[in-house]
Amino acid sequence: MSAVWSLGAGLLLLLLWVRHRGLEAVLVHHRWIFVCFFLMPLSILFDVYYQLRAWAVRRMHSAPRLHGQRVRHIQEQVREWKDEGGRRYMCTGRPGWLTVSLRVGKYKKTHKNIMINLMDVLEVDGERQVVRVEPLVTMGQLTAYLNPMGWTIPVVPELDDLTVGGLIMGTGIESSSHIYGLFQHTCMAYELVLADGSLVRCSPTENSDLFYAVPWSCGTLGFLVAAEIKMIPAKKYIRLHYEPVRGLRSICEKFAEESKNKENSFVEGLVYSLEEAVIMTGVLTDEAEPSKINRIGNYYKPWFFKHVEKYLKANKTGIEYIPSRHYYHRHTRSIFWELQVRTAPNLK
């Protein structure tokens, strides 16, 4: 109880201080207050809500049942647009701030927004090794769902919040792409609602022209309402080998050479200057040397690119065993290096 009182008192003091300094001054000069007391709690609530939601949907097995109903709702919206004369373009109703891209499309304001409320995993078919998902399923959600079942998808673009729809309609790539290709190359079928309101399924053998035209189409051919993605067996760890490489030519050669070696499940290079990089190669494994396990995703661990830089600075190679989900989402916390506060001398 006393904790609640002191938190309340603290917040009150903070509010008084903000009033005294002026909101704008606080936002500009003390951005951390906005981040710590507003953005962070809000984003935690946001994540908790979505995790609870995914858990409840899974417990109740409601996703497959509701899927048909939700798709019909999308078809109704498209037919309504047609009845209105179809003069404006249509676009997905997902607000710009929800997407990973920093750009907020102005077209969302002028086009007819079609609400797509499809964010669940529909079916895991272990026999065919295929998972059928709705387009707003995120990478973080999908690995959390599949990995405990012993499955994963071959190409897991790193950031938790990337969605299946965005990765198919735009594109997706990852450190396993030297084996499996782009995200869309791991997809077996798509289901779309077209501009006449019809629902079609396409695959390499069914409406194949549409199937091959969907990737990179950025939503211009129809609304994606489901996708079938290939699954491969998951393992507990990635055995990651770090190697600093110096000299641009050596960096390129090393990277090309490791990418040709199909024994590497993962190949990634982080380049720290024109002449300095760390090339990492990873292999899926269930066994690990306990002393070399590194849970890099834990909140107190350094950002991944900072961790890797240590190998460059020490000029030494190394091996670590990283729990699979920690590896898949290794750049999520730092959004690669975008969260790093940069000192920009010429901007001062």
In whole angstroms, the minimum distance from the beta carbon of 238 to ligand FAD comes to 16
Q: According to CB under 6 A, which residues from 298 to 337 bind ligand FAD? A: 335
CB of 11 to ligand FAD, least distance (A): 32
140-159 residues near ligand FAD, rule: CB under 6 A: 157-159
Identify residues 92-131 at the interface with ligand FAD (CB under 6 A).
92, 94, 99-102, 116
* Residue of the chain from 140, 154, 172, 215 that contacts ligand FAD (CB under 6 A): 172
Q: Binding ligand FAD by CB under 6 A: which of 135, 215, 244, 269?
A: 135
State the minimum distance, in angstroms, from the CB of residue 203 to ligand FAD.
17
Residue among 219 and 282 whose Cβ is closer to ligand FAD: 219
Nearer to ligand FAD (CB atom), residue 100 or residue 144:
100
Three-state SS letters, the chain: CHHHHHHHHHHHHHHHHHHHHCHHHHHHHCHHHHHHHHHHHHHHHHHHHHHHHHHHHHHHCCHHHHHHHHHHHHHHHHHHHHHCCCCCCEEECCCHHHCCCCCCCCHHHHCEEECCCCCCEEEEECCCCEEEECCCCEHHHHHHHHHHHCEECCCCCCCCCCEHHHHHHCCCCCCCHHHHCCHHHHEEEEEEECCCCCEEEEECCECHHHHHHCCCCCCCCCEEEEEEEECEECCCEEEEEEEEEECHHHHHHHHHHHHHCCCCCEEEEEEEECCEEEEEEEEEECCCCHHHECCCCCCCCCCHHHHHHHHHHHCCCEEEEEEHHHHHCCCCCCCCCCCCCCCCHHHC
> Least CB distance from residue 135 to ligand FAD, whole Å?
4
Binding of residue 218 to ligand FAD (CB under 6 A)? yes
Residue of the chain from 143, 145, 146, 165 that contacts ligand FAD (CB under 6 A): 165
The footprint of ligand FAD on this chain (CB under 6 A) covers a number of residues equal to 27
Binding site for ligand FAD (CB under 6 A): 92, 94, 99-102, 116, 135, 157-159, 162-163, 165-167, 169-170, 172-174, 218-219, 223-224, 335, 338
